[in-house]
Structure 1
Amino acid sequence: MYCRRCGRANRADAAFCDACGTRLGESADRALVPPVHSDTAAHSTPPSPQDHLAAPRHHLPEAVFVGRQREMASLHAALAEALSGRGRLVMLAGEPGIGKTRTAQELSVYATQRGAQVFWGRCYENPGAPPYWPWVQIIRSYVRERDAEQIRAEMGGAAADIAEIVPDVRHALPDLPSAPSLTDPEQARFRLFDSVTTFLINAARGQPLVLALDNLHWADRASLLLLEFLTREIGASRILLLGTYRDIEVSRQHPLFETLGELSRDRLQYRIALRGLDREEVGHFLDLAVGGQPTEELVESVHQRTEGNPFFVIEVVRLLAQEGQLASGSAHRPRGSAMKIPEGVREVIGRRLNRLSPACNQILSVASVIGREFGLEELRCTVDAFLAESLLDSLEETLAAHILEEVPQAEGRFQFTHVLIRETLYDELTAPRRAQLHRRIGEALETLYSADIGPHLARLTHHFGEAFQAGDRAKAVEYAERAGARADVLLAYEEAAHYYQMALDGLEREMMLDQRRRCRLLLALGEARRKAGDFAQALVEFERSLQRDPNRFRTIYGAAQAAEASNNRKVASEYYGKLLALAANRDTERPELAYAKVFVERP
């Protein structure tokens, strides 16, 4: 279906535009500034231009976009360079609600009009997202829009490697052989990154690509490493990488901090810091959104309370309209000083939620525990039977109030319109209630996805882990171990180490005395850290395992490899010597022994 706002041709059954997110079927004018009507009067005829800001069942147009002239000029220039064959990475940084995603969407519209293809990869705050999740979304969206021959031509021999993390590739190319295995983890991951990079550069030759990576502060380490790799290779391509992240969350210990440092050191990224709208821009926003010239007092009051944060401005104006504080006709509007404008964004959100039915609020609380995005059946299987009967009615109520929205091109899936809404609901729950809901959600996911549980192991680990004290503790450890093994297969070694550590922590919290399992997990953790290049910590994990099982061949060999990689020749020689002694006592021949012998005898 054709989008009248940005011009993109979408699938016939699409509800929203892939490029700009506009609901399809609206006129171009409505897509830009849709009318919003007051709930203070009933209309038997179409509303007049003076009527504005509807009842809770209407919403403020997100398409209102003001200010950002300097930022948009920089983005347009970066796009122009990419279109001419000089690819680059641009980062949009700022606090929550400052308009990072909205600014990226505005560039997406412009890029589509300039002939580029736009694909989005969104990172989610839930720890349950699979490795490489933003890249999986981008490649999956691209593959679903192409026929098999075009996919085969653009991916070439890289298709088998890419299919390991994006199953849709194998669905499109069912005769695709399995990727040849590599024993060296660094070589395996290099081949995957090179395969993805080669494919994207090939795809951009036919039509320029804009790849938007949203909320990178939630990205897994493997996704960030792929971003670093790709950024270094796109200088002569028609690819624009556009990332967004919350700068206030990126401390020196944050995974994104290291990525930003690497890219900045090599001058591979251009950073745009977004700040709040100024007073004039807030006034212009209110003029467009409210439908009439706002009073100076209103502009001043809203700007002071929101500090120009666009999300907060939207929520404040929405709330004022819903509470009847913005009457039709500017002559009857109270002055800003007379309006009850909330002090904080959570208060704004809370007062908007209070206008929904009790059943609706209960369902939203459950949904907030599932995550920013969730499926209808996931929610249905989690809520009480009484709430399940009115689930569809409650969802319609949340959609009309613009608390939730349908996920484009994903039938039966919904998401909170902003992460701050989800966080507000989640934070209102008591710790015991959260744990109980996490357990119920985990059990629902087990039932729903029992036929193919692999892609959902990370989510199951998250929910059973959060329900550790109130749920099946052994199951929390089991899923963490399985999630670690899956991440290792997908070459996401940092994620694998994270999950193995979770499993070990669970064993210790539960006081489980299964020493063989503990040694197995320590070995797996050491291997994951070694593959991720964290050799010093890998050696620590191997040595912890050897304290309980000193004669395990794989653990001794792992310790020797980690020590050698850390340039600790003395310790490496000791472990290789132990390996040879162990093999001699057991009269065993293994391929690792030849190298151990050479290393020990080396002067």
Structure 2
Amino acid sequence: MGAPPLIGRRDELAWLEQRLDDSFDGRPQVVLVSGDPGIGKSRLVRELQRIAVGRGAEVCAGRCREQLDLPYLPFVGSLLPRLEQVAGTSPDLRDDARGIGRLLGRDAGDGPAIGPTDGSPEQQQAWLFVAVARLTLRLARERPLVIAVDDLHWADRPSLDLLGHIAIELADHGLRQPTPVLVIATHRPAPDGPVAAELARLRREEICSPLEVGGLSEPEASDLVRKLGLERASRQLVTTVHRATRGNPLFIESVVHRLSRSAGVQEKGGDLVAGTGAPAVPEELGDEISGRVAEVSDPARELLTLASFLGDTVRLPDLAAVTGSGEAELQDLLDEGVGHGVLSWDGPELRFAHPLFSEALHARTDPSRRRRIHLAVADALDVGSAAVEAAGARVLEVAHHLIEAGPLVEPARLLESAREAGERAWDMLAWGEAARYFGAAAGAAEQVGVGDDVLADLHHRAGLAHYRNMDRGPTRHHLERAAECHRTSANPGGLALALADLVRVDITSGSFGIAVDLPPLDDALADLGETDPALVARILAQTAEALWVSGRVGEGAERARRALDLGRTAGDRIACARALVALAMTHWFPLELDEARQRLEEAREIAREEDDPQAEHHYPSSGS
């Protein structure tokens, strides 16, 4: 069973087809479709996808979810696996294929490192995103490509970053040669936070076009009312429904659904009219959605509630694993959901007819029952994850559900699962998610009573992930806990690293002239002595930068020279490069520009030779 026919939207669809034509002609397009919940954004975009497929395009579509914040979620089931296939067609693209595997959360294996390993997180992410863009353009050489992202207002930060990078690369590539790619995303009006910032950035691109979807006109609403079963609806009935719903298709569907099951519709002269007993239209769409959910039987509603915790697509094997029931038995209950319009067929897949139904089912579930469901889902996914191709994504999903299950989970199990998920998210450069998982692992480790060295590592990783996610408060909390654990375990190297990262937080979040607390780090360096000259050299370079930022330029220059000498003695060229940059900063302040330029050139040369990606971006050019 396919999706129901599209009602109305002739003008909007014609406009979208023009954007599709432009992309087919080699002019890349980015389209942002906005509108209220239930207004028909997703249905309109699915119709465009159907047209694109009919014209020979390849479509990679995905959706973001409110209740499942997993990195690259709208891309892991469509675009990224397809790009991995493209990369597998040529030995020259082997590194790109492994990079895509990294974004999919798979283990890197025992092969060589993928991309830069000693650069900033931003540079590692840029390398992987360049691989995605390169493969996307290669895929588009075979035939036109449509990339669709639904419900962008719920996107995780890594997905936003990747979408933005693809759009910018398409714009740049389109200036040089034909680029038959259309990116289309739907979102609700006035999103906030990172989504709002990314949308504003996308709109500044010349290839970006917005489309605001409003309610159906009254004639279009009339067609929809009749398609929904009230074939003899009178003008009076259609007008009543249209005015009450303001043309929102999902609201129209819900109201017609209730009218057809009540005494609110009467026959007069062969036509159906709204009688005085017609049910009142709720003020909020959510109330109507909740009412529709309440109409299904208790067993069906229980199953639909479980399905809402599993994802957008209803996965019968997963439901069977969670409930312990046979798939045939569950199918009857799912058919009931389809009959009430809560579920709908989208091609061969069964989905919630609208994300609002999933939201309503979540809202009806009390917190204690939510925790039990999350645990049941985690148990089911954990058992089957080994057989799943995208097992990396399942690792994150299992950890997510275990965290949400709260006190129902044994701390030892949560520690193992969250730590593995943190490693996966870290490798995917999904810093917000890595921070969440490592933080949960650290909390579980406190309960289990692991050694201070293990606890310190978890807190340190959580702190660095928060730092890279630009969240200063949690960064300091976890790094301070890591430092405490290193002191307890008498680990001077670990303590020095944690304190050096705390100094870095102060430097990057402050301004010139701020006071930086260096004595604890100096004490840790003294305890290190000469046991690890390379580590000491790198930390000395960090303290040199801190002294420069705090206005103590002479002391900073002296530290930088010590770091440079020690780095050369230890044979650590990266430590030398960082010391040279710190030394250049101390030359810059008194306007000793020739000396500063020379130090920067030396640092960049070392970094290039060492294949350190900071060479091009972290270290300023001598002409800057």
TM-score range, shorter chain: 0.7 to 0.9
Change (3 A) 1:158 1:117: same
The equivalent of 1:101 in structure 2 is 42
1:231 aligns with 2:171: no
How well do the aligned residues superpose, as a CA RMSD in angstroms?
3.8
Report if aligned partners of 1:119, 1:138 keep a CA contact under 8 Å in 2.
Answer: yes
The equivalent position to 1:525 in structure 2, one of 462, 467, 477, is 462
Instruction: Please give the residue correspondences for 1:313-324 in structure 2 after superposition, counting only pairs within 5 Å.
Output: 313-323=252-262
Q: Could you tell which deviates more after superposition, 320-329 or 350-359?
A: 320-329
1:364 aligns with 2:317: no
The equivalent position to 1:461 in structure 2, one of 382, 399, 410, is 399
User: CA deviation digits over 1:472-529, x for unaligned, max 9?
Assistant: 3554454333322210011212321233344456678x79898665533321122213
Report if aligned partners of 1:560, 1:575 keep a CA contact under 8 Å in 2.
Answer: no
Change (3 A) 1:371 1:266: closer
Change (3 A) 1:297 1:474: farther
1:183 aligns with 2:183: no
1:281 aligns with 2:239: no
Instruction: Please give the residue correspondences for 1:428-439 in structure 2 after superposition, counting only pairs within 5 Å.
Output: 428-439=364-375
The equivalent position to 1:91 in structure 2, one of 29, 32, 52, is 32
Alpha-carbon distance, 1:355 to partner = 4.9
The equivalent of 1:200 in structure 2 is 136
Amino acid at match of 1:581: A
The equivalent of 1:210 in structure 2 is 146
Alpha-carbon distance, 1:219 to partner = 1.6
Alpha-carbon distance, 1:463 to partner = 2.1
Alpha-carbon distance, 1:400 to partner = 4.2
Report if aligned partners of 2:375, 2:409 keep a CA contact under 8 Å in 1.
Answer: yes
The equivalent position to 2:531 in structure 1, one of 562, 578, 588, is 588
Amino acid at match of 1:366: L
User: CA deviation digits over 1:68-125, x for unaligned, max 9?
Assistant: 61x3344233323322222132111122111110111122233334443222022222
Change (3 A) 1:328 1:240: farther
Report if aligned partners of 2:293, 2:357 keep a CA contact under 8 Å in 1.
Answer: no
The equivalent of 1:377 in structure 2 is 317
Secondary structure, aligned partner of 1:85: coil
Unaligned runs of 5+ in 1: 1-21, 24-60
Report if aligned partners of 1:128, 1:458 keep a CA contact under 8 Å in 2.
Answer: no
Alpha-carbon distance, 1:345 to partner = 3.9
State the alpha-carbon separation in 2 of the partners of residues 176 and 388 from structure 1: 41
Report if aligned partners of 1:536, 1:563 keep a CA contact under 8 Å in 2.
Answer: no
State the alpha-carbon separation in 2 of the partners of residues 136 and 261 from structure 1: 25
State the alpha-carbon separation in 2 of the partners of residues 307 and 346 from structure 1: 15
Change (3 A) 1:147 1:210: closer
The equivalent of 1:542 in structure 2 is 479
Amino acid at match of 1:571: V
Report if aligned partners of 1:457, 1:479 keep a CA contact under 8 Å in 2.
Answer: yes
User: CA deviation digits over 1:327-380, x for unaligned, max 9?
Assistant: 899815243554335425455445544554432223223323334334323222
Report if aligned partners of 1:287, 1:294 keep a CA contact under 8 Å in 2.
Answer: yes
Amino acid at match of 2:299: A
The equivalent position to 2:20 in structure 1, one of 73, 79, 83, is 79
The equivalent of 2:194 in structure 1 is 255
Unaligned runs of 5+ in 2: 545-558, 561-582, 587-624
Secondary structure, aligned partner of 2:210: strand
Instruction: Please give the residue correspondences for 1:43-442 in structure 2 after superposition, counting only pairs within 5 Å.
Output: 62-67=4-9, 69=11, 71-127=12-68, 129=70, 131-140=71-80, 142=82, 151-152=89-90, 155=93, 157-166=95-104, 179-180=114-115, 182-184=117-119, 185-235=121-171, 236=174, 237-247=179-189, 250-251=191-192, 254-265=193-204, 269-290=208-229, 292=231, 294-323=233-262, 331-335=270-274, 337-340=276-279, 342-343=281-282, 344-353=284-293, 355-383=295-323, 390-405=329-344, 414-442=350-378
Secondary structure, aligned partner of 1:240: strand
Alpha-carbon distance, 1:63 to partner = 1.5
Which of 1 and 2 has higher RCO (CA within 8 Å, sep 6+)? 1
Change (3 A) 1:406 1:158: same
Secondary structure, aligned partner of 2:372: helix
The equivalent position to 1:481 in structure 2, one of 390, 402, 419, is 419
State the alpha-carbon separation in 1 of the partners of residues 106 and 458 from structure 2: 32
Alpha-carbon distance, 1:266 to partner = 5.2
Secondary structure, aligned partner of 2:305: helix
Q: Could you tell which deviates more after superposition, 200-209 or 134-143?
A: 134-143
Report if aligned partners of 1:159, 1:169 keep a CA contact under 8 Å in 2.
Answer: no
Q: Structure 1 length as normaliser, TM-score?
A: 0.76
Change (3 A) 1:176 1:315: farther
Report if aligned partners of 2:30, 2:209 keep a CA contact under 8 Å in 1.
Answer: yes
The equivalent of 2:613 in structure 1 is none
Change (3 A) 1:435 1:285: same
Alpha-carbon distance, 1:221 to partner = 0.6
State the alpha-carbon separation in 2 of the partners of residues 426 and 105 from structure 1: 26
Secondary structure, aligned partner of 1:242: strand
State the alpha-carbon separation in 2 of the partners of residues 267 and 147 from structure 1: 28
Q: Could you tell which deviates more after superposition, 230-239 or 277-286?
A: 277-286
Secondary structure, aligned partner of 1:467: helix
Q: State, as a whole percentage, how many aligned pairs show the same letter.
A: 26
The equivalent of 2:516 in structure 1 is 571
Q: Could you tell which deviates more after superposition, 361-370 or 262-271?
A: 262-271
The equivalent of 2:385 in structure 1 is 449
Change (3 A) 1:540 1:176: closer
Alpha-carbon distance, 1:148 to partner = 8.1
Report if aligned partners of 1:529, 1:535 keep a CA contact under 8 Å in 2.
Answer: yes
Change (3 A) 1:518 1:156: closer
User: CA deviation digits over 1:417-441, x for unaligned, max 9?
Assistant: 2212222222222322222222222
Secondary structure, aligned partner of 2:216: coil
The equivalent of 1:495 in structure 2 is 433
State the alpha-carbon separation in 2 of the partners of residues 340 and 536 from structure 1: 51
The equivalent of 2:550 in structure 1 is none
Alpha-carbon distance, 1:218 to partner = 1.9
State the alpha-carbon separation in 1 of the partners of residues 87 and 199 from structure 2: 36
User: CA deviation digits over 1:239-266, x for unaligned, max 9?
Assistant: 1110111225x22xx3312212333455
Secondary structure, aligned partner of 2:260: helix
Change (3 A) 1:288 1:168: farther
Secondary structure, aligned partner of 1:468: helix
Amino acid at match of 1:365: T
State the alpha-carbon separation in 2 of the partners of residues 74 and 207 from structure 1: 22
State the alpha-carbon separation in 1 of the partners of residues 181 and 463 from structure 2: 37
Aligned length: 528
1:556 aligns with 2:499: yes
Alpha-carbon distance, 1:285 to partner = 2.6
